[in-house]
Amino acid sequence: MDRREFMGGAAALAGSVALPGVARAQASEISFFYPVAVGGPITKLIDTYAADFEKANPSIKVKPIYAGTYQETIVKALTAHKSGTPPVTSVLLSTDMFTLIDEEAIVPFDDFVKTEDDKKWLAGFYPGFMQNSQTGGKTWGIPFQRSTIVLYWNKELFKEAGLDPEKPPQNWAEHLEFAQKLTKRDASGNVTQWGTQIPSSGFPYWLFQALTTEADALLMNQAGDTTYYDKPGVVEALQYWIDLSQKHKVHPPGIVEWGTTPKDFFEKKVAMIWTTTGNLTNVRSNAKFPFGVAMLPAHKRRGSPTGGGNFYISKKATPAQQQAAFQFIKWITQPERAAQWSIDTGYVAVSKAAYETEAMKKYVVEFPPAAVARDQLEFAVAELSTHENQRVTKALNDGLQAALTGTKPAQKAMEDAQVEAERILKPYR
């Protein structure tokens, strides 16, 4: 993943350089921190976008700087903000919104939206992605590299296990039943192939939020000042996850690595995995077997949290820099570019108009899995985001890891996480 997307990273468009003398009036430079945890094709794509934008807008220079993971990039962006030389614009996690507002590091986009065309552009993003981009009646982030969690399955292994290779599990009961049929053991009883795998390193809360959503439970309120970690539906979701490994033994024990989950799938160590749509291009390029992509199995309802990064504009940038950043953000999220970005990376295109472009229509016909994440948006919820987001999320992650490793029962793990989250959030109410 960027953080989650396989290619890694969060982007921050950072630090601007004032140009000398007369040129200053005509030119703005926006250095662009793009968060990439892993090098490769993604950096080439971003470099190309920057060059194409400069050709169309000769008075603006865009300088991409590759800044590491999302976590590293938010730290760099906030450090730069405090020292007075912040990014002009940044792609950071959508869930960093409250933190950035609290730090007075960003300005709302509403001030830049002036023309009818601007208004139409802003209204065009999927509502599911705007849940983590708007608060208090204002728009603070613009969706760029966004995702949901989907199920990938190996059709060959389904066939071998006597399952219909074209039918993924539709609910939790089927998910367990299929995983039991897909788990293989050798003569000594050692597992040679796991039925299913839900990663729990890096972003355990994100994968867990898929389960809590399906259990029809919320993890936080919309104001970002209250969490519900100890509610019955949340505990039920955690118990299901624990039971897959500890009781039914169809899921690897302990903490499952985020980064190696796609590789385990390619190597047929596991038949079904839950991971980001940001891995779609990765799986398509590396799976040497027919695979399927489906919405996650339902329980009381269907659902997944959204994920990924938004563009933000720095409060400390000059008005001219802010305007230049707005132009770049509007340009890079136009339907044709959003469609191409989705095709090239596997991220979900951020607007309905992107799916109506010729390129995207053709792509979805050739590769139907590309439409799954879009269709699942109807059931998506806002990703866990609160004030003091990193600390509040860490409280949940610590509880999940304690439960998944067997050091605490589900109920106790979630009660302890809730006590810690309450302590952190109380001052914000």
Mean pLDDT within 77-100: 92
As a whole number of angstroms, the distance between CA 310 and CA 10 comes to 9
Token code pair at residue 91 = 């792609």
Are residues 414 and 282 located together in one domain of the fold? yes
- Would you give the DSSP letter of residue 225? S
What pLDDT shows up at residue 1? Answer: 43
79 has a pLDDT exceeding 80: yes
Residue 42: the pLDDT is: 84
CB-count burial class (<10 Å; 0-12, 13-18, 19+) for 110: middle
423 and 375 within one domain: no
Residues 291 and 395 in one domain: yes
350-359 pLDDT, tens digit each: 999 999 999 9
Q: Looking at the domain assignment, is residue 205 inside a domain?
A: yes
In a domain, 3, yes or no: no
Instruction: Judge whether 18 lies within some domain.
Output: no
- Is residue 242 scored above 70 in pLDDT? yes
Residue 9 in any domain: the answer is no
User: 395 and 300 in one domain?
Assistant: yes
Domain that holds residue 310: 23-147+306-381
The pLDDT of residue 300 is above 50: yes
What is the number of structural domains in the chain? Answer: 2
pLDDT at 12 over 70: no
C-alpha torsion sign, points 38, 42, 48, 52: negative
The answer on 370 and 409 residing in a single domain is: no
Residues 124, 43 share a domain: yes
Does any domain span residue 421? yes
**Is there a single domain that holds both residue 103 and residue 198?**
no
Question: Are 135 and 159 contained in the same domain?
Answer: no
Residue 416 located in a structural domain:
yes
User: What's the pLDDT score for residue 25?
Assistant: 40
Q: Are residues 167 and 181 both part of a single domain?
A: yes
> Of 63-67, 103-107, 179-183, 352-356, which range is least confident?
63-67
pLDDT for residue 67: 83
Task: Tell me how many degrees the CA angle 162-164-168 measures, rounded to the nearest 5.
Answer: 120
Q: What is the DSSP string of 352-420?
A: HHHHTSHHHHHHHHH-GGGGHHHHHGGGEEPPP--TTHHHHHHHHHHHHHHHHTTSS-HHHHHHHHHHH
CATH code for position 277: 3.40.190.10
pLDDT tens-place string over residues 101-114: 999 999 999 999 99
274 strand-pairing partners: 151
Global pTM?
A: 0.87
User: Residue 291: which of 195, 161, 184, 157 has the closest Cα?
Assistant: 157
Residue 2 has pLDDT above 70, yes or no: no
Quick: pLDDT tens for 121-139.
999 999 999 999 999 899 9
- Greater confidence, 222 or 182? 182
Question: pLDDT of 206-238, one tens digit each?
Answer: 999 999 999 999 999 988 999 999 999 999 999
- Do 155 and 134 have their domain in common? no
Contact 12, 76 (CB under 8 A): yes
64 and 188 both lie in a single domain: no
Does 32 score more than 90 pLDDT?
no
Q: Are residues 300 and 324 in the same domain?
A: no
User: C-alpha distances in angstroms, 126 versus 130, 207, 351, 360, 381?
Assistant: 7, 21, 5, 16, 12
Residue 16, domain member (yes or no): no
398 found inside a domain: yes
